[in-house]
Amino acid sequence: MALSLPLLPGVVADPVNRTLRKVPAWPLYILGAVPPVILFWAGVTGRLGVDPVKDMEHQMGEWGLWLLIAGLCVTPLRRYAGISLLKYRRALGLLAFFYILGHLLIWLVLDVQILSQIWADIVKRPYITVGMGAFVLMIPLAVTSNNRSIRRLGKTWRQLHKLVYATALLGSLHFILLVKGFQIEPYIYMGAILALLALRLPLTGKRRSLRTA
Amino acid sequence: LGIGSIAGPAFAAPTGLTPNTLEEITNYNNYYEFGTGKEDPAENAHSLVTSPWSVEINGLVDRPGTYALEDILKGKDIEERIYRLRCVEAWSMVIPWNGFQLSALLDQVGVQSGAKYVAFETAFRPDEMVGVSRPVLDWPYREGLRLDEAMNPLTLMATGLYGKDLPAQNGAPLRLVVPWKYGFKSIKSIVRITLQEDQPFTSWKDANHREYGFYSNVNPTVDHPRWSQATERVIGAGLFGSRRETDMFNGYGDEVASMYSDLDLQKNY
C-alpha cells in the first residue's frame, strides 16, 4: 500500500481537490434533511413495514453512525491520499448529531413513551447507558461547531473535538450490545472506527514526508 | 392441512383479542435460520421444503419412530386458538393459530413414566436455510418444556394460521405455540421430539444463560438484563401510542400459574 501512496496526490487528489473547491458545504445540510423527512413520512403513511417505530429508530441510528464514520474519514483521506474534505466536516458532524438526536427522540417519544421507564433504562441498561453517553459527548461538539467558537477556544477547540473518537466508539459499542446472538454487522462498524482511529496515530519514518506533499 | 377440519370452541384466555393482519404476522418473524432481520424469513423461507415432512419421536415413549406428518395429523381436531405472542424482545402480536393440543400427540405415542421433559428440535438444512451458515446460535435450534407444561391444554402444535397452511416463515409445517412463555420457546419446523428425564438443551439458554432461562415465562417483574420486560410494544398499533403493560404469564395465569407454585420465578426465569 505504501508504494502506491506517492502517486495519489498528483494523479487522483489534485483533480478531485480542484473539483471540490467549487462545491460548497451548505447543500449537505439540505441533502441531509431529506432522508429523515422521507423516513418519517413513510412511517406516518404506513410504508415502513410491520414495526415502523423500530425501523425509524434503527435507520436513524445507523445513518448517525455512518455520518460519524464519514467524519472520521476526513483526516486519513487528507493524510494518506491528499484529498481535502475539511470544509465538509462540520456539516457531517452536525448532521450526525441531528440524526442521533432524532434516533433518541424516536426512542423517547414513539418507542418507550413512559418517563419512569426511560430513566430506568438509561441507568440500568448498559447498551442504553453507553448510547446515551455517546450522545451527551456530542452536545458540546455540536454547540461549538461554529466559527466563533473555533476562534474563541483556539487550541482547546481541537482538543475538545477529539471527543468524537469516544462518541464513535461508544456508538458502535451501543450497537454491539443491543443485538441478540452473535451478529457480525456491529463488529464491522467497530472495526472500521478502530481502523480510522489507528490511522491517526503519529506517523513515523518515511511516511512523514507525505504530510508535506 | 391447516384448515383440515376446524372444530371445537376457540379456547383462548385472555379473550377478546383482536388478531394482527396476515400481512403483519407473516412479515415480522424471528427465524434466524433464514436471517436475523425481521423481514428476512419472509424473503428467504420459501426455500424450505415442507412436504414431505416427518417427525422423529423418541426417548421415553411407548411407540417411538419416525412419524409422517399425515400420521401425526390423523384423527386430531384442528382448532382455532387466538393467542397473544409475547416476544422476549418486548413486543407482542395476536395470532389466530390453527392446530391441535400437544397432549394429543404425546398421548398418541405413549409417554413413559420416567419422562419429565420434552425436547424439540428444528430442521437444520444448510442448503435450504441461508441463515445457518452464520454462527448466530449453536444449530440446530433446540427448545424444551417440562412434561406438565407440554401437557397443558394451552400448549398447541400449530399447523396453520388464519385457516390456511402455516407459511414457511412462521414455522411450517408444524410448530409449537406456548402462549405464556416468550416467543422463542415456541420452536418452529419441528423434526424431532424427545421425551427424557433431564432438562433439555435449549439454544438461547446455551447462547446466554443470564438472558434466556429454561422457563422463560412471560414475567413483567423479571427484566431481561438488557431491557425491561414491564411493557411491550404492540405490533400493528401504528406510530403513536403503541405500548401496553405486560401481563404476568402473558395473561394466561389462570391456566398456568399453578404449575409454578413451588418455583422461585425470579431465579427460574
Whole-number Å distance between alpha carbons of A28 and B134: 38
> How many distinct helices (H) and strands (E) make up chain A?
12, 0
Phi and psi based region of residue A13 (left: phi greater than 0; alpha: psi -120 to 50; beta: remaining) = alpha
Residue A146 φ then ψ, to 5°: -150, 160
Out of A49, A124, A177, name the one closest to residue B27 (CB): A49
| Structure-block grid coordinates of residue B172 | 411450517
Each residue's pLDDT tens digit, B155-211: 999 999 999 999 999 999 999 999 999 999 999 999 999 999 999 999 999 999 999
More confident residue, B88 or B16: B88
Residue B198 φ then ψ, to 5°: -95, 155
How long a stretch of residues is chain A?
Answer: 213
pLDDT of residue A210: 53
pLDDT of residue B2: 44
Going from N- to C-terminal start, the domains of chain A cover: 5-212
More confident residue, B261 or B7: B261
pLDDT of residue A213: 44
Contact (Cβ atoms closer than 8 angstroms) between residue B179 and residue B83: yes
Each residue's pLDDT tens digit, B10-32: 444 577 899 999 999 999 999 99
Other beta carbons within 10 angstroms of residue B13's beta carbon come to 16
pLDDT of residue A122: 87
Mean pLDDT of B70-91: 96
Residue B123 φ then ψ, to 5°: -55, 145
In A, minimum Cα distance to B21 occurs at A50
Spans of chain A, pLDDT less than 50: 1-4, 212-213
Shortest Cα distance, chain A CAs vs residue B32, angstroms: 10
Mean pLDDT of B73-100: 96
- CA distance to A101, A186, B150, B267, per residue, from A190 (Å): 21, 6, 43, 34
Each residue's pLDDT tens digit, B208-259: 999 999 999 999 999 998 888 999 999 998 888 678 999 999 999 999 999 9
Size of interface A-B (CB pairs under 8 A): 67
Each residue's pLDDT tens digit, B42-74: 999 999 999 999 999 999 999 999 999 999 999
Whole-number Å distance between alpha carbons of B91 and B237: 11
pTM for this prediction:
0.83
Contact between A51 and B28 using a beta-carbon 8 Å cutoff: yes
Give contacts of A126 with chain B, Cβ < 8 Å. 226
In B, minimum Cα distance to A183 occurs at B136
pLDDT of residue B22: 97
Give contacts of A52 with chain B, Cβ < 8 Å. 238-239
pLDDT of residue A120: 83
Helix (H, G, I), strand (E, B) or coil at B158: strand
The interface pTM score, or ipTM, of the predicted complex is: 0.70
Q: What is the DSSP string of B61-83?
A: BSS-EEEEHHHHHTT--BEEEEE
pLDDT of residue B7: 46
| Structure-block grid coordinates of residue A75 | 483526516
**How confident is the prediction for chain B on average, in pLDDT?**
93
Contact (Cβ atoms closer than 8 angstroms) between residue B106 and residue B58: no
